[in-house]
Amino acid sequence: MDFLPLLVVIVILAGIVVFIMSVFGRKRTGGGSKDRDAVIRNANKKLAQNPRDIDALRDLADVYYQDQVWDKAYKMYETLLELASSHPNMDEFEMNLRYGISALRLNMLNEAYKGFAVARSLNQDNFEVNYNLGYLEFQKNNYEKAVQYLNQARQLDPEHAPTLRCLGHALFKMKKYKEALAFIRKAIELAPDDKESLFTLAECYYEVNQTEQALRIFGHLRPDPAMGPSSCLFSGSINLKNLRFDKAVEDFEIGLRHQNVKSEIRLELKYRLASVLLKQQDIGTALGYLREIQDVHPNYKDVPLLIAKYQELNANKNMQIYLMAPSADFVALCRKIVMSYFPRARVKITNIAVDKNEWADILAEVDTPKWSDLVMFRFIRNQGSVGELIVRDFHSHLKEVKAGKGLCLSVGNFTDEAKRYTEARLIDLIGKEKLSAVLNSVDAKAAKAAGTPKK
C-alpha cells in the first residue's frame, strides 16, 4: 500500500509522455509531407541545370520508392544504374534491389530479374533478393532454381509465409509431395485464408495416399467460389475410384451448381458425372449430360462412342440387364432366353455356371416336336471381339457334359478364326445383331412359352 501513491504518479507521467509523443508525431507527419515536396522541388531544380546530378536523382528515387510510385521510381533507378560506373561511391546493391522491386511491381519480369540477379552478385545473403529471384524462377517454371533461392530465403526468414508458400508449390510441381506438404502446411498456418495452397495441400495428401485427409480438405473447399469446382471434381473422382458412387454424384452435382465455372472443368464434371450414372444404370440421365457435352465439344474424349452405345441400351431394357446388371439379374435374363429360345419346346435347365461375371453357361434338356437333345448356351457379356480361344473352351465344355449342341451368344463380334473353328462343329455363333433381336422379343416369347400347355 506504501507504493500506491508512487504507482499513481508513474501512470500519470506515462500518460503525459504518450500525449506529447502523439502531438510531436502529428507535427512530424505534417512536416514530412512538406519536406517531401521540398525535396522534389530542390531535386527538379538541380536536374534542370544538370540532368545527370546524382544527388538529385537519388533524392527523387528515394521519394518515389517510399511513396510506391513505381513507374517514376523505376525510371530514376534505371538512370542511376546507367551512371553507376562513373560514380564508384554509389550503393549499387541497393540501387539494383530497388530497381528490381520497382520493375516487379510494374510486372516487368525480365527487368526485375536482371536487377535482383546483379544485386545477388553483390550480396548473396539478402532475404529480399533471394525470395524475389525464387519467385521469378517459379513464374518461369524453373522449379529447381526456384527451390535453391527460396531455401536460402527461408534460412534468412523462417516465418515468411510467401516464401514457404512458393517453396511448397515449387516442390509440388517437382512431384516431391512429402517435402511440399511440410512447407505448405506451415504457410497455411501463417496465412489461413490461402485457399489455393489449401487445395494444393489436399493434392499432396492424395499423392502420398492419404486420401481421407485429401477428401476432408476438398470437402471443406467445395462451397468456395474459386476453388470449389476443382475441389468437387477432385473429390468426386476419388469417391468414384473408391466405388462410392452416391458421394461421387453429390460432388459432381455441387461442382456444376457453381457459377462461372471454367469451361474445361464444367465439361469434365459432366463427363465424370455421366460415367457414375452409367455405372448406376441411370442411362437416360447420363445420356442427357453426354449430349450437353457434345453440344459444346463434339469430339470430347469418347463421348460420341458412349452416346452411340448407350442410346441403344436406353431403348432396350434387356440389353441394359445383359451388359450392366448384377450377376443374378443377368442369369435370370439368360434363363428366360433359354426357356423361350426354341419354339414349341419343353425345356428343363439342369445346370448353370457363371465365370467371374464375364459369361454364364446354361445346360438344358430340350424336347421339340422334331428333335430332343442336351443343349448348352454360353452367354458372353463382353462387347469386344470373341476369339477362337473362348470358342475352343466352350467346345471342350460341351464334350465334358456330352451336350449335342452349343449356342454361343455375344453382344460383340466373333473373329474369323472363331467362325472357322465352328464350321465343322455343332456350335452356333449368335452375334450382336441377332442377340439384340432375341433380347427385344424375349419377354413376349417367354410369356407365350409359359402359356403353352405341355404335351
Whether the model pTM is above 0.75: no
pLDDT of residue 190 exceeding 50 = yes
Q: Sheet harboring 359-367: ordered strands across?
A: 346-355, 359-367, 372-380, 405-410, 427-430
Could you tell me which CATH number the domain at 322-451 has? Answer: 3.40.1350.10
pLDDT of residue 30 exceeding 50 = no
Q: What is the pLDDT of residue 241?
A: 94
**Which residue would you say has higher pLDDT here, 37 or 333?**
333
Q: Confidence class of residue 1 from pLDDT cuts 50, 70 and 90?
A: very low
Q: What is the pLDDT of residue 383?
A: 82
CA–CA separation, 255 vs 228, rounded Å? 7
Q: Confidence class of residue 50 from pLDDT cuts 50, 70 and 90?
A: confident
CA–CA separation, 62 vs 40, rounded Å? 10
The β-bridge partners of 366 are 347, 373
Q: What is the pLDDT of residue 290?
A: 97
CA–CA separation, 188 vs 208, rounded Å? 19
Q: How do the domains of the chain map onto residue ranges? A: 24-315, 322-451
CA–CA separation, 118 vs 95, rounded Å? 10
3-state secondary structure of 372: strand
Buried b (16+ CB within 10 A) or exposed e, 247-263: bbbbbbebbbebeebee
pLDDT of residue 109 exceeding 90 = yes
Q: How far is CA 454 from each of CA 87, 343, 373, rounded to the nearest angstrom?
A: 117, 13, 17
- What does the block give as the cell for 219? 470437402
pLDDT of residue 385 exceeding 70 = yes
pLDDT digits (tens, 9 = 90+) for 305-340: 999 888 878 878 888 888 888 899 999 999 999 999
pLDDT of residue 9 exceeding 70 = no
Percent of the chain residues topping a pLDDT of 90: 70
What is the overall mean pLDDT for the chain?
89
Pair 284, 313: CB distance under 8 Å: no
Percent of the chain residues topping a pLDDT of 70: 90
**Which residue would you say has higher pLDDT here, 295 or 30?**
295
pLDDT of residue 4 exceeding 80 = no
Residue 284 neighbours by CB distance under 10 Å: 10
- What does the block give as the cell for 338? 433359354
Q: Confidence class of residue 454 from pLDDT cuts 50, 70 and 90?
A: very low
Q: What is the pLDDT of residue 12?
A: 59
- What does the block give as the cell for 266? 464444367
pLDDT digits (tens, 9 = 90+) for 264-277: 999 999 999 999 99
> Distance of alpha carbon 46 from its chain centroid, rounded?
59
**Which residue would you say has higher pLDDT here, 104 or 357?**
104
Rounded mean pLDDT of 393-413? Answer: 92
Helix 92-105 to helix 54-66 angle, to the nearest 10 degrees?
Answer: 40
CA end-to-end distance (rounded Å), the chain: 121
pLDDT of residue 231 exceeding 80 = yes
pLDDT digits (tens, 9 = 90+) for 72-89: 999 999 999 988 877 777
Rounded mean pLDDT of 116-139? Answer: 96
Task: Give one word for 347, left, alpha or beta, with left for phi > 0 and alpha for psi -120 to 50.
Answer: beta
The per-residue DSSP string of 214-249 comes to HHHHHHHHTT-TTTHHHHHHHHHHHHHHTT-HHHHH
Q: Confidence class of residue 380 from pLDDT cuts 50, 70 and 90?
A: very high
3-state secondary structure of 192: coil
> Distance of alpha carbon 79 from its chain centroid, rounded?
47
Domain 24-315 sits in which CATH superfamily?
Tetratricopeptide repeat domain (1.25.40.10)
Q: Confidence class of residue 29 from pLDDT cuts 50, 70 and 90?
A: very low
